[in-house]
Structure 1
Amino acid sequence: MISTFIFFHSFLFLYILSTPSSCSSFLSGIETGDLEKRGDLFPQILRDEAVARLVELGKVSDANDYLERTFLSPATTRAINLIRKWMEDAGLRTWVDQMGNVHGRVEGANANAEALLVGSHMDTVVDAGKFDGALGIVSAISALKVMHVNGKLQNLTRPVEVIAFCDEEGVRFQTTFLGSGALAGILPATTLEIPDKRNVTVKDVLKENSIEAAEEMFLQLKYDPKSVWGYVELHIEQGPVLEQVGFPLGVVKGIAGQTRLKVTVRGSQGHAGTVPMSMRQDPMVAAAEQIVLMESLCKHPEEYLSYDGRCSGSSIKSLSSSLVCTVGEISTWPSASNVIPGQASDEFPKSC
């Protein structure tokens, strides 16, 4: 089942690249089983090799028992080398930019035309699934490899560039889209000074990887919008909606805008066995109430938001179906079983 899924989506990429104007009509009425029987679609590349590469990339991890690859970690460095090798195998010219994004490009028949960008991110969350991000990278490379083997890569009407973005999840530095943000020119220079939990900054990590980080770097990385024809990304849904409604795929009209908040609640630290309940100011309890309130707000925003002229009824309706929030991390100080904490901190992303 998984191999068929990978084959179908790699095939979609192939036809988007080779016959963009007639792709939708070509696909109409064709079953996945019919596609696999066609001898000209190279199932050994679009299916077998693609699945093998996803499995291989899924084993490139900084942890032993689960998948974790964060911004320019040792595992990410290994993933960069692996992805770059696959790109070169597909006939692409490759390079790694100053933010750690991996690029593979073919100029096609008209090197001066606007380029089609495709790809996804190579970083992961903690204990990730192997398809998250990797599917979009591997499928794009597989499609281009088929064209390379067929001798049609240079017949593309415009340049095509596959990008494996260095950071989308924002796990290490709690700031998302470092890779794509740099290419879009929206990252401020202050991004270089953001520290991780070990107080290592983005700038430090870049230097560790022999990349000299400076404010001018962001200007060099930014893509001229006039040089880009469009962007296509294949991504696993990671949710239950498509499966629940019985759809094999969906076309994304927009992405979630994310805000990350770190909230610290301070109380009165004390011994757990001697401070009466009536005299306690326990920040952990207050944090728990806060989390429950946030859950309720995101489930029923219409009960909390007021109509003040700026928030219309349609906005409320949209929020009711799209707003999500998650408390993904909580900690206390001093974090001992027999001590009432002096403070509790929780971090949660809010998306809509």
Structure 2
Amino acid sequence: MFSTTTTTTTFLHSCFLLSCLLSALSCVSMFSGIETGDLEKRDDLFPQILRDEAVARLYELGKVSDGKNYLERTFLSPASMRAISLIRRWMEDAGLRTWVDQMGNVHGRVEGANANAEALLIGSHMDTVVDAGMFDGSLGIVSAISALKAMHVNGKLEKLKRPVEVIAFSDEEGVRFQTTFLGSGAIAGILPATTLEISDKRDVMIKDFLKENSIDITEESLLKLKYDPKSVWGYVEVHIEQGPVLEQVGFPLGVVKGIAGQTRLKVTVRGSQGHAGTVPMSMRQDPMAAAAEQIVVLESLCKHPEEYLSYDAHCSDSTVKSLSSSLVCTVGEISTWPSASNVIPGQVTYTVDIRAIDDLGREAVIYDLSKQIYQICDKRSVSCIIEHKHDAGAVICDSDLSSQLKSATYSALKKMEGDIQDEVPTLMSGAGHDAMAISHLTKVTHFCSLSVCFDMQFTLQNLTTNEDLNRWECCLCDVVEASVTLHKNMC
């Protein structure tokens, strides 16, 4: 087990990781003359930039919020506009050329020694959910900027053999418009022109909302935001785990085998509105009771898919087995009309979030769930409408490459820690990341180890002490360098 205490060392880990990674990917040895395992020389690698300043920036960004006592920073809200200015200033401080595109993404780029080479992209999102954690998204942005600043101060930034671009994506969470990856989806070219017509709860369309923020976007300019796949070499995203697995097994990092596919549904149940005291129970057409039954069915199906799904050509034993280990379902939002304690509601609306690593299995769950929702509505004499609000396919990592990365991680840890009984955890990322959208731009099968599948995972609880700091830095650097040797012709 690895020790877990302080918060500030997380940044030094991730920043150091990115510094090593940038050097390796760009064929520049940032640590020429430093032997592997020479911990004393690595200890003074710009601690002010990679730790003190980065941590201060994390807390500063965490205070940029639309909520008074909690963190909330949704797509192009007043807080997001302040965050854009702040992040752009930090990028310029790191020696990067900056701009903000028409979807609100913040870019910081250095051309290096060969501006015509394929670029390495590093990104994460700056928007948040309501009552968000401070590390979500921000860790990837701030650590990337800090790593580049360290290289800039060291005179290495301009010597990189390929361009490097940091992107702070404007909308990954999809809170306001209930559609995710607005920022990264525009870069990847997967947003249809009709995206601009999507409305929020106030019936304000995305294109009108952008105009309110002095961003005039058209269908043509949206399409122009797409990057040329030939201009992109790979994509890296450092992200917190957002789960308890690494803390439970006692490892500071894990190898990600894939990102779960996700479907978001909006279910509307309509019945007969009535007085709570005068309508007999036998005569009610209560959409709330129907919705409650549907939600219980959803929970049962997702807990035990093997007991509910029909076995056929689209739902085999292997699919059901995969669902049993990866399927998660959530009803996160519910509303009623007219929402009064003494009124039988006339309408109930709730959201359903379904995630699984197996896309066919996820589709089978949606089909079976939809069928049962309609059956419950028929039984209770109410009507139902099911809307698909979002679909994203799973991103699966190359199994051979993931296995090699796992072996490299284990070897590095064993070299420094001695005998290690447990295996390096292989994780499925149940949280959706911008890498899912960018995988349409950069082929994940080729850049698997460098974009999605070698995703450094940090949790708030799973942090090391200063005493352990150099060991973890060396481990992360060694593992990344080991993964790079798998692509000998990349420069």
TM-score, scaled relative to structure 2: 0.68
SS of 1:19's equivalent in the other structure is helix
What per-residue deviation string (whole Å, max 9, x for no partner) do you get for residues 245-269 of structure 1? 2121223232222211110111221
* Cα distance in 1 for residues equivalent to 2:221 and 2:40: 45
- State yes or no: 1:315 paired with 2:319: yes
Distance 1:28 1:179, change over 3 A: farther
Q: Is 2:125 the partner of 1:121?
A: yes
After TM superposition, the structure 1 = structure 2 runs for residues 139-150 of structure 1, keeping only pairs within 5 Å, are 139-150=143-154
Aligned with residue 299 of structure 2, among 289, 295, 298: 295
Contact 1:36-1:43 at 8 Å conserved across structures: no
Which residue in the other structure is 2:423 paired with?
none
Deviation per residue, 1:38-84 (Å, 9 max, x gap): 22x11111111111111000110111111111111111100000000
Whole-Å separation in 2 of the counterparts to 1:177 and 1:27: 41
Q: Which runs of 5+ in 1 are unaligned?
A: none
Match of 1:174 among 178, 193, 207: 178
Q: Name the structure 2 match of 1:86.
A: 90
AA paired with 1:297?
L
Distance in 2 (alpha carbons) for counterparts of 1:173 and 1:114: 33
List aligned pairs for 1:132-281, cutoff 5 A.
132-281=136-285
Asked whether the 8 Å contact 1:60–1:67 carries over to 2, the reply is: yes
Alpha-carbon offset, residue 13 of structure 1? 0.5
CA contact (8 A) 2:34 2:41 kept: no
Which consecutive unaligned segments of at least 5 residues does structure 2 have? 1-5, 357-491
- Aligned pairs, how many? 347
Q: 1:17 aligns with which of 11, 16, 22?
A: 22
Q: CA RMSD in A?
A: 2.0
Cα pair distance change 1:36/1:139, threshold 3 Å:
farther
Q: Distance in 1 between matches of 2:8 and 2:110?
A: 27
Equivalent AA in structure 2 for residue 95 of structure 1? W
Give the Cα separation in 2 of the matches to 1:229 and 1:270: 61
- 2:336 aligns with 332
Contact preservation (8 Å) 1:69, 1:75:
yes
Distance 1:2 1:214, change over 3 A: same
Write the distance in 1 (CA, Å) between the matches of 2:184 and 2:140.
Answer: 14
Displacement, 1:179? 0.5
Matched, 1:107 2:111: yes
Contact kept, 8 Å, 1:121 with 1:167, in 2: the verdict is: yes
What code does the residue aligned with 1:208 have? E
Shift of 1:37: 6.4
Report the counterpart of residue 48 of structure 1 in structure 2: 52
Q: Which residue is 1:7 aligned to?
A: 12
Shift of 1:200: 1.1
C-alpha displacement of 1:113: 0.5
Structure-1 residue corresponding to 2:67: 63
SS of equivalent to 1:254: strand
Aligned counterparts of 2:255 and 2:34: Cα–Cα separation in 1: 15
Structure 2 match to 1:347: 351
Partner Cα distance (2:269, 2:36) in 1: 57
Q: Taking structure 1 as the reference length, what is the TM-score of the superposition?
A: 0.94
Pick closer, same or farther for the CA change 1:30–1:351 going to 2, 3 Å. farther
